[in-house]
Structure 1
Amino acid sequence: MTTTPRAATGPVDVPEAARADAPPAVWRDRGFLRYLAGFGLSLLGDQIWFVALAWAATRLDSPAEASFVLAAGSLPRAVLILFGGTLADRWGALRVTLVSQAARVVTMLAAVVLAVAAEPRLWTLALVAMLFGAVDAAHMPAAAALPPQLLPRDALPAGQGLVQTLERVAMIVGAPVGGLIVALGGLSAAAAANALLFVAALVILRALRLRPSADHAHPAGPSEPEGTWQALRGGLAYAIREPVLGPVLLVVTVLNLAIAAPLNVGVALLSDARGWQAAGFSAIIAGFGTGATVGALSVVRFPPRRRPAAVGLIWVIAGSLCIGALGFSPSLLVAVGAAAALGVTSGPASALLLGLVQARTHTRYLGRVMALVTFSALGLVPVSYTAFGALVEATSLPASFVICAAAELLTALAALAVTPLRRAAL
């Protein structure tokens, strides 16, 4: 997230002994900790808003109207997020983060006014949801592009470990806090609380000072087209032709698709089929979240010194075995254990691969590349859910888990066969 053009991010020649003697300690970097504080408050507000919006939507006249409101919030984000990445690259990630954060504050204040003025109706909820989703399309890739401009390259996997830990803590804390606020004061109280959280995040993020660029691999960088469409196509072309980024982004996309559907749709169906009910579903998801937090923090404490992609892909392979095992769990205890093991493997896999993506991306393309990552994590989720349901109908529930596991396993093995990726360094 900067207001001035910067040079590219690329490998810097640092002696191996020096790197080994001075491992990056991201938890001591004040600038990055400031980013985590602002980003964490923003994430907490996101969770409160999603709970409040879902609660208000369910009080409408029909389930169809409730579904329309929720879709109105997610559709603009999915459609516009790639363009949001171009904004971050054109105007600077920090500037776009701050402007979009201010827009989130205004959106929440508008929601407060609308909720106080009259009982929330379909069109008011849909309008606020669409505005928030559109602003998020600019905010998310810009905010995700900030860590590479705050941390040394070697520290990015560890930084991603902390970011992912923060995201999971925000999800765990935000949902009950949001439910409590809605129960006490309704949609207006939740929107007002969000406005305060977003203002605090804005104040913290305004104090960020980005590092001078240390990208020497491509000091000048390719010339940039002026049009938005041309810039978007240029970012896609860059990600595809870069020998490391393309394969890593493909692995990350498959990883998101192969885990999201089995973990959310598949576990719900498994809990119902085994008679574990909602309590069993919650226990399995909690097991995954706990394991993922432990796995992500392991990268913070023990960051790999060499070949982060190869190490991350090995974790992906181990995770694929856990997905397959989850579908055949004979008891709730075994299912929770399999989900926890899946979390332990996916935490370091995601941190290492995303850290490598950030480290290898030219600074002027960071927004667009992180928009691609975010789109694969959020925009393609409905596709994953639909495909998994079709698999269950065509085969069986355990077989669907195995198919997802096989897709993840084969993708990781194919990626390991790509020599530039296997040998890639930060």
Structure 2
Amino acid sequence: MATTTARAPGRRSAWAPLRRPVFRMLFAAQVVSNIGTWMQTVGAQWFLVETSGSPAFVAWIQTASQLPVLLLSLVAGVTADLVDRRRLLLVTSLASCVVAGALTAVTVAGALTPWGLLGLTFVLGCSAAMTGPAWQAVQPQLVPRDELPEASALGSIAVNAARAVGPAVAGVVVSAAGPAVVFALNTLSFLAVTVALLAWREEALPVRTVRERAWPGLLAGLRYVRSAPSVRRILARCALFALPGSALWALLPSAARDLMGADAAGYSLLLALLGAGAIAGAVAMPRLRARLSRSWLLAGGALLFAAGTAAAAWLPLAASAAAALVAGVGWLTCLTTLNATMQLALAGWVRARGLATYMLVFMGSQALGSFAWGAVADAVGVRTALTAAAAALVLVAASVPLLPLLAHSGTMDRSVVPLSSSMPTLELEAPPATPTAIVLTYRVRPQHVAAFLDAMHDVRLARERSGGTGWQLLRRAEDPEEMVEVFVAPSWEEHQLQHTVRWTGYDAQVLARAVALAEDEPTAAHYLVQGVR
């Protein structure tokens, strides 16, 4: 397990996290699994190209694999925050192995239909949806915080190295032996992940004195996202890119066959070059981050991906292959920038839930986009659909100055700082699920009132991020120097969590700025909601 000691500032190698044995082992397993997944994608898409002939059916493979994120991402996030993540990953890896094995058996028996393939792909997507937040959330346990951008880039390399290798292998295997062998190899790839997870001996994390429950924990995660402006902006940029960006992935098989006259090997070549371009982008990312802001990286990445999308619509195979390299760089640039910023913007207690929301937006946008672009291609043709998507990506790049990532995104102190040394002693028994109103009284001199009100705006967001609801700031009419802050914790348990594991260093700084404008520390009182008949 990696320690979290800070390293000396300076530009790090893109490969720095691979020096850490556990990260290296899990990274290798991820590469193997992703190769199997991309082989399966090529086999499934080409099976549908040959059996259905419909661009919509081919595009819906992307929808079937990504739609489960819309349904399960939030559940997966809260589960990954509340249970042992290693065990969760073991369960989902074994489940994926079983489903992939079933798909292989059905194909070998000659009973696979287009709708059956979509159904089993959907089930595999469900397992992947439960895996994603946990896999992302373990990264800070494997590398120091200052290596998270490199770890995120390596995660993208794992996906894109697989995209470079998997389709190339799959094209040969599908041509020589059919899709059943590809599906069997994917089954074996899930076994590789299971072996790696069994070999990982995770260090025990601190035991919480108060444990969260699933439904309140899910609601707390949603309140966190709603009250974190930097997170909301990341999600907005994510959706803006993924919706038009999904067109190339969804329609590339049809474009390769219908517009470029390519066979399965030609389609695999395009996917491989997209992956190779992404790897090149990942290697260049440390240098790019040193020269450009995150927002401008997003704009440049969108433009590069737009160029690749337009090339697939209008250029022959050789020229489209060259453009695919460029598009791969653009895809990786956007994904790594968004993912790493999201990782750094989230507090540890809600990391999996926040990343689940990110995946919900990104993968859900891809799923909905794939469905929509498939329908557009059926109606007006693949070339027109890809051209429209490329134009939309240009508009996405142009929107960056109007809707940039917030300047402090990913730079706030998200370490846990207990709100106080101990919980208050109550004379009245507080059942765990009882809503609790917290009332804090400040005294603020008239000359500081305007600044205090401004500071309390950030305090409100901090209270809401840690689980508070119904926040209000009151000023006493009989005594204008008295200010009263009121908010409600949904339960006494959640207020205990606010004190112990949900308050971060940044939240503490925000509150300290407000308290510095008051005459003294605020006095606190706690009121338990009483049922009145």
> Which category describes the TM-score, using the shorter chain as reference length?
0.7 to 0.9
Instruction: Tell me the TM-score normalised to structure 2 length.
Output: 0.61
Mapped to 2, the partners of 1:290 and 1:177 lie a distance apart of 14
String of CA shifts for 1:353-402, please: whole Å, max 9, x gaps. Answer: 31121123223322222223333333222433526976997x99767533
Aligned to 2:158: 166
**Is 2:253–2:267's contact at 8 Å kept on the other side of the alignment?**
yes
Residues 1:423 and 1:179: Cα distance change in structure 2 (over 3 Å): closer
CA positional deviation for 1:263: 6.8
Q: Paired residue for 1:80, among 57, 72, 90? A: 72
Question: Which SS does the other structure have where 2:213 is aligned?
Answer: coil
What is the CA-CA distance between 1:97 and the residue it aligns to?
Answer: 0.9
Give the 5 Å matches for 1:213-362: 226-228=213-215, 230-261=216-247, 265=251, 278=262, 288-299=274-285, 302=287, 304=289, 311-322=293-304, 340-362=325-347
Change (3 A) 1:50 1:387: closer
CA distance 1:94–1:311, shift in 2 (3 Å): farther
Give the deviation of 1:212 after TM superposition: 7.3
**What's the TM-score once normalised by structure 1's chain length?**
0.74
Distance 1:37 1:120, change over 3 A: same
What's the offset of the Cα at 1:200?
2.0
Go from structure 1 to structure 2 and tell me whether the alpha carbon gap of 1:281 and 1:21 turns closer, same or farther (over 3 Å shift). closer
C-alpha distance in 2, partners of 1:165/1:65?
29
Distance 2:320 2:174 in 1: 33
The answer on whether the counterparts of 1:295 and 1:345 sit within 8 Å (CA) in structure 2 is yes
- Partner residue in 2 for 1:9: none
Tell me the secondary structure at the aligned position of residue 42 of structure 1: helix
TM-align CA RMSD: 4.6
Corresponding position: 1:383 with 2:368: yes
Alignment-derived partner of residue 357 in structure 2: 372
Shift in CA distance, 282/372, structure 1 to aligned 2, threshold 3 Å? same
Q: Is the radius of gyration larger for structure 1 or structure 2?
A: 2
Are residues 1:404 and 2:393 paired? yes
Q: Which amino acid aligns with 1:375?
A: L
Deviation digits for residues 333-367 of structure 1 (CA, Å, limit 9, x no counterpart): 88666654454344344323311211232233222
Preserved CA contact (<8 Å) 1:35 1:205? yes
Contact conserved, 2:76 with 2:356, CA < 8 A, in 1?
A: yes
Q: Which residue of 2 aligns with 1:41?
A: 32
Are 1:102 and 2:94 counterparts?
Answer: yes
- Whichever residue aligns with residue 234 of structure 1, its letter is A
Aligned counterparts of 2:53 and 2:308: Cα–Cα separation in 1: 36
Stretch of structure 1 that moved more, 101-110 or 322-331: 322-331
Higher RCO, 1 or 2 (CA under 8 Å, sep at least 6)? 1
The alignment partner of 2:23 has SS state of helix
The answer to whether the 8 Å contact 1:57/1:65 transfers is no
**Aligned equivalent of 1:30, options 21, 30, 38:** 21
Q: 1:74 to 1:138 in 2, by over 3 A?
A: same
Offset from partner CA, 1:158-191 (integer Å, 9 cap, x none):
1111111121121222224334445555555444
Aligned-residue offset at 1:328: 7.5
Partner of 1:153: 145
Give CA deviations for 1:117-167 in whole Å, capped at 9, x if unaligned: 663357865654343222222122222222222111111111111111121
User: How far apart, in 2, do the equivalents of 1:271 and 1:212 lie?
Assistant: 52
Describe the superposition over 1:249-299 as per-residue Cα deviations: whole angstroms up to 9, x where unpaired.
222232222433367659977997xx7554998877665543322111123
Cα distance in 2 between the residues matched to 1:22 and 1:289: 23
Q: Aligned to 2:200, what secondary structure does the other structure show?
A: coil
> Cα 1:343–1:311, aligned 2, differ >3 Å: closer, same or farther?
farther
SS of residue in 2 equivalent to 1:380:
helix
Partner Cα separation in structure 2 for residue 271 and residue 164 of structure 1: 28
Quote the offset at 1:90 in angstroms.
2.0
Q: Is the 8 A contact 1:151 1:211 kept in 2?
A: no
Q: Is the 8 A contact 1:60 1:66 kept in 2?
A: no
Rounded Cα–Cα distance in structure 2 between residues aligned with 1:326 and 1:61: 26
The 3 A distance-change label for structure 1 pair 281 and 405 is farther
Structure in which a larger fraction of residues adopt helix: 1
Find the counterpart in structure 2 of residue 91 from structure 1.
Answer: 83
Mark the CA change 1:72 to 1:404 in structure 2 (over 3 Å): closer, same or farther. closer
Counterparts in 2 of 1:424 and 1:297: CA distance versus 1, 3 Å = farther
Is 1:142 matched up with 2:134? yes
Stretch deviating more after TM superposition (165-174 or 113-122)? 113-122
In 2, distance between residues paired with 1:31 and 1:22? 19
Corresponding position: 1:414 with 2:403? yes
Residues 401, 65 of structure 1: alpha-carbon distance in 2 compared, 3 angstrom cutoff: closer
Q: What SS does the corresponding residue of 2:399 show, helix, strand or coil?
A: helix
Aligned residues: 401
Is this contact kept in 2: 1:160–1:355, CA < 8 A?
yes
Structure 1 residues 27 and 56 mapped into 2: Cα distance closer, same or farther (>3 Å)?
Answer: same
Does structure 1 conserve the Cα–Cα contact (< 8 Å) formed by 2:76 and 2:130? yes
Report if the CA contact (8 A) 2:99-2:123 is conserved.
Answer: yes
Match of 1:5 in 2: none
Opposite residue 232 of structure 1, the aligned amino acid is: L
Contact 1:322/1:341 (8 A) holds in 2:
yes
In structure 1, what is the Cα distance between the partners aligned to 2:232 and 2:222?
A: 10
- What is the aligned partner in structure 2 of residue 6 from structure 1? none
Instruction: Verify the 8 A CA contact 1:244 1:424 in the aligned structure 2.
Output: no
Q: Could you say if the C-alpha distance between residues 22 and 298 of structure 1 is closer, same or farther in structure 2, counting changes exceeding 3 Å?
A: closer
Contact 2:92 2:131 (8 Å CA) reproduced: yes
CA distance in 2, matches of 1:81, 1:123: 24
* SS of corresponding position for 1:235: helix
